[in-house]
Structures are given as C-alpha cells and as structure tokens.
Structure 1
C-alpha cells in the first residue's frame, strides 16, 4: 500500500540576501519534505517564496515544528497551513495571457474583471513594471494563467480579450498553454 502524503503550504517573506533560497530549500529537504510546487522571486529588496510541500506524517511534523526557529534563523516571516494539491479540472483548458501596456492604475483590475466576466479562472498572475530603455515611458508587463471552460469558443474569447486590450491601450496575446 503506498504511503499517504500530507501537504503543507508555506509563504515566506524577508530581506533578500545571497543564498537565502538555497538555505530555505536545504532546510526543507533535511526534514524529509519534497517541494511539490514553488515560486521564489524578489519583490523589491525582499525575498518572497510560496511553496507547497509534501511528505509523510513524520516529515510534516518535523517541518511544522522547525518552522518558527527556521524563520528566525533565516530572517523570514513565515506563514503555513495544511493543504491539498489542486484538484484536476477536466472541464477547463489552460491559457496564457500576456499584456504589455503603459503603466496605469487599474490595469490589472480591468483584466481580472474581464476574465471573471468570461467565466474563466485566473490561477496565476505575474506583473513587472519598468522604464522603457528606448523612450523612458513607464511600462508594465502582465502574465496571467487562466483556465477557460472547454465550452467557451476560443476565438470568441480571444476577440473579446483583444477588444479589452485595445480599450486599455495595451498589446495582448492569449494562447493555449501546451504542457
């Protein structure tokens, strides 16, 4: 009989420094946990990590007990919660949306409103702002992963998405994720 795996979601935030990701990942491995999902990125001068860990009861107990001390040792604020992996959603297709636009308040909110109104599920968002090296204009790039109902006609969604991008003075792409 296969061993039952337990899951733990962890979010960590702290001052960024060299080797912090390596130290955190190493501490997780030493306690017998596997990293099932992970997103580590700097946010300004801060280190940010979101992880879904899995392991047996013993490994999860060791990890949970060690987290307060580990957080203090690494200089991180850590929150954690028992979790489960995401359930399969066979009635949806994964799509990637990319938008490049002048930096403007409300841009992300407008896109989230659009996708919500279309009956899609936004499952991941990544946003970066920057100053254009060519013009000096303040720009932003948004990447969204969305689950689109299989009953939704792809070209209809793509046309509506392009209309929203035009209204926002943005360039956009909406393509299936091929995994």
Structure 2
C-alpha cells in the first residue's frame, strides 16, 4: 500500500466566518435604520413645535393689537363705510383719524402696514353683534348699536399643512352701547 503524504489536521483559524459577518452587518443595519428613524421623528417634532410656538406668538400679538385698536374705535369713516364687511373695517381711531383694517389675500393690513401674514383664506375675519346677539350691519348700522366685534384669525401652518385659529371679542368703549353682561 502506498504511503500518502500526511495532511496536517484542519484547525479552526482565528477570525469570523462569512455567516457571522453577514449576521453582524444585518444587525448593524437594523440598528442604524432605527437610529435614523428616531432622529427624523425627533427633528420633525422639534420643527412642528417651533412652528406652533411661532404661530401662537404671531396670533396673540396680532389679536392684542387689534383688540386695542378696535376697543378705542370712535366711529366709522363715512367716506369708506360702504366698504366695511367681514374682511374690511374702515373706522376712526382715538384721534379721529381714519384707520383701515383689511385682509388682503393672506395678509392682514392695519393702517397701511402689514400686521400679520400667513393668514388662511376663507371664513370671516370680523363679525359684528348688537347687545342682544343679533348681527350688526357695518355698512349702515347705527354705531350706538354696536356691542361687540368678534375677530377670528386662522394662521396657515406651512410645515404641518394645518390651520391654527385665534379668536377674541372686542367691546368698543365709545360706541354708546350699553355695557352690561349679556345673559345667555
């Protein structure tokens, strides 16, 4: 019988097998995908919160300014009164000077200056009421019958594709309307 050269016995070599490497890379890829997803969600939430805060600040500031101006309303501008409606109000300020509050597209303009931009279009910005809750006509109603002006401003969120609405009610001080609480 011929003698064959002896082969050295197979010993495990140090290192990783192909299966172990593929398994480790799969686990690492899964962890990476989870990390990127969490990071994306966190960034989206932060941007949404920042935009919400900005909208709230803009809305509150605009409503506060409108509240102050309309509370001091002294009369209607007779030359422009026919243009008063749910989006426009031409009135006289505390000095008797004409002042215009207008919604032009997605912008609210007060006295020729931009007060607020990014306003959602549609819906009434201003509604006018008598003391009994019935509607008051801003084009022909007697100023002494104007009890309150309700202001509603909806700001469009650019990032979230939604609206955030802000409302307030103003009781003009100098219209001559009775100032008593209304029972409902």
| TM-score bucket of the superposed structures, by smaller chain | under 0.3
Q: When the two structures are superposed, what TM-score results if normalisation uses the length of structure 2?
A: 0.23
Which of the two has higher C-alpha Rg? 2
Higher strand share: 1
Q: When the two structures are superposed, what TM-score results if normalisation uses the length of structure 1?
A: 0.24
